[in-house]
A and B are shown apart, each in its own frame.
Chain A
């Protein structure tokens, strides 16, 4: 069936360190987004990135659609980066905008 797999499930970083989060998906995608869920539950949209590379400050993302994976890079991590990072994918060719979420990567940045 349709799958979205994220790795690692948990990650602990020292403040200032860099990290790479990975998202593998099982089929071609119409939409791929990365989200950060803060401790209060709110989902913050980080990137819409069905293909290519984007950067926003200390964060960047790359999706290689032909190889069915996406990477989220966090550089010079800060304690405020802590939370759960989700990759979500819309597999519908018609663009239904129904997102299938991975299980997330829980990031803890320690001072």
Chain B
């Protein structure tokens, strides 16, 4: 099946700094990727849709300037949490659709645990 990889899997950063999370589709091209956020013991909430070669589409309530998304190639999308604060600590997970497969199946990366201290 399709493979989506995220890096880093865990990151700790100091308040006020920025941290970048990468999402790669390893064996297929993804014109669209998605970024989700999950708080402990909660469900996944869609943050934004990352479109290759154009601006990301953010969900209501998600700060565009805080969560910068760049989809520079057909296999890579990045999420940068700028000026991080402890309340940004969360599990961030990306997904992408493999168009080669029937059924429009969405595959998820392994996720990235962010802790802001």
Q: Is A20 an interface residue (CB 8 A)?
A: no
User: Which secondary structure characterizes the binding site on chain B?
Assistant: strand
Report whether A97 and B111 are in contact in the complex, using a CB–CB cutoff of 8 Å.
no
Report whether B95 and A33 are in contact in the complex, using a CB–CB cutoff of 8 Å.
no
Cα distance, A103 to B43, chains bound together (Å): 5
Report whether A43 and B46 are in contact in the complex, using a CB–CB cutoff of 8 Å.
no
Q: Which of B17-25, B76-84, B98-106 contacts A (4 or more CB under 8 A)?
A: B98-106
> In the complex, which range does the number of interface residues on chain B fall in?
20 to 34
**Residue from the list B1, B95, B103, B110 in contact with A99, Cβ < 8 A:** B95
How many residues on A have C-beta within 8 angstroms of the other chain's C-beta atoms? 23
What total count of A-B pairs have CB within 8 Å?
A: 57
Report whether A101 and B111 are in contact in the complex, using a CB–CB cutoff of 8 Å.
no
Nearest CB of chain B from residue A56's CB, rounded to whole Å? 12
Nearest CB of chain A from residue B68's CB, rounded to whole Å? 19
Which residues of the partner chain B approach A42 to less than 8 Å between Cβ atoms? Answer: 108, 110-111
Could you give, for residues 12-40 of chain A, a 1 whenever the CB lies within 8 Å of some chain B CB and a 0 otherwise? 00000000000000000011010100001
Report whether A45 and B106 are in contact in the complex, using a CB–CB cutoff of 8 Å.
yes
Which residues of the partner chain B approach A95 to less than 8 Å between Cβ atoms? Answer: 104
Q: Is B67 an interface residue (CB 8 A)?
A: no
Could you give, for residues 39-69 of chain A, a 1 whenever the CB lies within 8 Å of some chain B CB and a 0 otherwise? 0111101001000000000000000000000
Chain A residue with Cβ nearest B46: A98
Report whether A104 and B43 are in contact in the complex, using a CB–CB cutoff of 8 Å.
yes
Could you give, for residues 26-51 of chain B, a 1 whenever the CB lies within 8 Å of some chain A CB and a 0 otherwise? 00000010101010001111100100
Nearest 7 interchain pairs by C-beta: A43-B108, A41-B111, A48-B103, A48-B105, A101-B44, A101-B43, A103-B43
| Chain B interface residues toward A at CB < 8 A | 1, 32, 34, 36, 38, 42-46, 49, 91, 93, 95, 97, 103-108, 110-111, 113
